[in-house]
Amino acid sequence: MNNNSRPLLLELKKVGKTFSEDIVALRDMELKIHSGDFISLLGPSGCGKSTALRIIAGLTEPTVGEVDWKVNHGSGAIGVVFQEATLLPWTTVEKNVWLPFRLQNKSFKEKKDEIERSLELVGLKDFTKSYPRELSGGMKMRVAIARALVTDPEVILMDEPFAALDEITRFKLNNDLLALRETLGCTIIFVTHSVFESVFLSDRIAVMATRPGRVIQELDVDEPYPRGESFRTSSSYGVICRKTSDALKLAMEN
């Protein structure tokens, strides 16, 4: 897919972040996100990929540089999924998905259709009245994804969302996430330290290096969607994984 044919959504311009005087988490990070992109930020731990995500989310101000949004990015324009499902344990699945609307002072009744649709998309429409503790790790993560989707956001930020899950569940969620994206056409920024996951999911991979954290290489994954299980075992998958691995190795040596 040609990125340039899609409108620019946001751009990181020379973004830098310094923690407590001399720890440089990010320096001169440049990144363009187009509408409909599935971009992975791939790098070793400590390369600032989560910091970059937090800056995009507006949770942290960059020390230098700026995040240039081309669209309105108020409440509900950004959906997030963390490594843990991060649900409210005291309330049901549907009320958890309601949360983004609730914080916009919109009643549950008013948004019931959106909530139901979102839960249906992640395959949980039979669990709307369940409490989080009754769900497995994978199902909790699905609730978190439904909550991120429910406001129909401009971009969904995912910070190693499947890293804590077992491999079988992770593969299933990978497939389902791609299917979701096929249906909704949403933009996703995905932080991961797994080469295989980033190649399987994304159409672009930004490989990041440590000390200071920055993007050292952007790789396009020119493989058509939908990608199924057969892509995981195809030779082109292997080739791209190899290429990405090499880039990551370079990033580590740097």
Chain positions contacting other proteins, by CB under 8 A: 54, 57-59, 74-76, 78, 80, 82, 84, 86, 88-91, 99-100, 102-104, 131-133
Residue with smaller CB distance to other proteins, 101 or 200: 101
In the complex, minimum distance from the CB of residue 243 to other proteins, in angstroms, rounded to a whole number: 27
Report the C-alpha gap between 239 and 245 in whole angstroms. Answer: 10
In the complex, minimum distance from the CB of residue 19 to other proteins, in angstroms, rounded to a whole number: 16
Q: Residue type at 50?
A: S
Residue with smaller CB distance to other proteins, 143 or 240: 143
Hey, which bits of 112-228 come out as E strands?
A: 155-159, 187-192, 204-209, 214-220
Hey, which bits of the chain come out as E strands?
A: 8-19, 23-34, 38-42, 64-69, 78-81, 155-159, 187-192, 204-209, 214-220
Residue with smaller CB distance to other proteins, 82 or 231: 82
Residue with smaller CB distance to other proteins, 54 or 181: 54
Report the C-alpha gap between 36 and 177 in whole angstroms. Answer: 14
In the complex, minimum distance from the CB of residue 147 to other proteins, in angstroms, rounded to a whole number: 9
In the complex, minimum distance from the CB of residue 28 to other proteins, in angstroms, rounded to a whole number: 25
Q: For the sheet containing 8-19, what is the strand order?
A: 23-34, 8-19, 64-69
In the complex, minimum distance from the CB of residue 202 to other proteins, in angstroms, rounded to a whole number: 22
Residue with smaller CB distance to other proteins, 131 or 225: 131
